[in-house]
Amino acid sequence: MLTIRLQRTGRKHEPTYRVVLTDSKNGPKSGKYLRNLGWYDTRRKNSADQLDVEEIKHWISKGAQTSLTLHNFFVGKNIIEGKKLNALPRETPIKKDAPAAAASAAPAPAAAPTAPATEAPKDAPAA
């Protein structure tokens, strides 16, 4: 399956990204891609102008999937229609049934103390 995603380029602490069309099985650091669809520089405000919007729309219509980050970027720049998706890892939700959970976790009433199973006879001499 074809994927449109970001490929990092640039120096340390100065990231720029290529927007590339690649096979989904290629790793992001492999450098292999089919087409370069533009570039994105996080430090510039108008770097979205460097994208080939028509070609991006063409490949999406052919069935290419976008990464979550690029999907959100394209929705923000009105390149594609849709809702932004959560690209961050899912956290466990906070349970709203806290009082019910606390009641079920309450300790059971204590049972009556039991006598030890073996006792030494009182008449036996201590050894």
Q: Residue 7's domain is classified under what CATH number? A: 3.30.1320.10
Q: What integer is the mean pLDDT of 36-43?
A: 90
Q: Is residue 110 part of a domain?
A: no
So what's the pLDDT on residue 45? 79
Domain of 40? 2-76
Q: What integer is the mean pLDDT of 6-33?
A: 89
Q: Is residue 13 part of a domain?
A: yes
Q: What integer is the mean pLDDT of 89-107?
A: 65
Q: Is residue 41 part of a domain?
A: yes
Per the structure, the count of domains in the chain is: 1
Q: Is residue 27 part of a domain?
A: yes
pLDDT over 80 at 48, yes or no: no
Q: Is residue 82 part of a domain?
A: no
Q: Is residue 31 part of a domain?
A: yes
Q: Is residue 113 part of a domain?
A: no
Q: What integer is the mean pLDDT of 43-64?
A: 87
- E-strand stretches of the chain: 2-11, 14-23, 35-41, 65-66
Q: Is residue 9 part of a domain?
A: yes
Q: CA torsion, points 28, 29, 30, 34, in degrees to nearest 10?
A: 50
